[in-house]
Amino acid sequence: MINCLLIDDEPLALQLLEDYVSKTPYLSLTGKFEEPMQALSLLESKQVDLLFLDIKMPDISGIEFFRSLTHKPEVIFTTAYSEYAMDGFELRAMDYLLKPISFEKFLASCNRVKDFFEFKQTRNNNKEKDYFFINAAHKLHKIFYDDILYLEGLKDYTKIHLASSSSPLVILHSLKYFEDLLEQSEFIRIHRSYIISIRKVLTVSRKSVMIQSCELPVSDNYREGFFSIVEKHAK
């Protein structure tokens, strides 16, 4: 079961989410709150796997509240304002649901979260393996970690670029999904749209890296973390 927590200052929106949770067999409702600060004690005392969090609220925004958390669960942001989407993805949100939220979109988002937790558990149980299986185009594809050049995020989709193939695999998962699953000592995010394999980097400059013949940008938000890894490997 995935333990989830709901935070939304609109009672009707909160009730709708609660109804959706009750219809989803693998979700368990841990609590619901109209004011974010009231949820702090529960977040600290109980296991919360997934947080449904409204962004625009009176006293503190969902973005600010999530940034303030010491231990951050996975999060799906909900809001009526599409301009906040980029802020949500910069915080490595699992998804972003625009109100009014249909059950179909809610379930699709939750299914991706469920796949994420299952994949993460499988990875933890098989850490000695040098490969994993992933579903793409209705087939399970075996991917060796050492074959990955880089991953390219396209909102809900990710392209996995492989050394062994001229065409990338297109996966119905966000880049954040893979960011949490891949070993951070081997794969690092350099841009909101790119995760790269450290092993495959040919050259590094302040604003870009070269992998094979591809030049990929290093953005300001990820530059410090990336160069701290590069410096550890410098001779």
- What does the pLDDT look like over 30-80, one tens digit per residue? 999 999 999 999 998 999 999 999 998 998 989 899 989 988 899 999 988
pLDDT of the residue at 232:
75
- Kindly state the tokens that stand for 213: 């013949």
Same domain, 37 and 98: yes
Same domain, 111 and 182: no
Same domain, 53 and 144: no
The CATH number covering residue 100 comes to: 3.40.50.2300
Taking alpha carbons only, the member of 13, 104, 100 closest to residue 52 is 13
Q: Please check whether residue 56 is in contact with residue 63, taking contact to mean a CB–CB distance below 8 angstroms.
A: no
pLDDT of the residue at 134:
87
| pLDDT above 60 (res 27) | yes
Same domain, 138 and 80: no
Same domain, 138 and 182: yes
Maximum distance among all Cα pairs of the chain, rounded to whole angstroms: 59
- What does the pLDDT look like over 156-213, one tens digit per residue? 799 999 999 999 999 988 888 888 778 878 899 999 999 999 999 999 998 999 999 9
42 CA to centre of own chain:
23
Same domain, 107 and 141: no
Structural domain count of the chain: 2
Percent of the chain past pLDDT 90, that is, above it, reads 58
Same domain, 154 and 54: no
d(CA 165, CA 147): 9
For 202, the domain range is 129-233
Same domain, 174 and 64: no
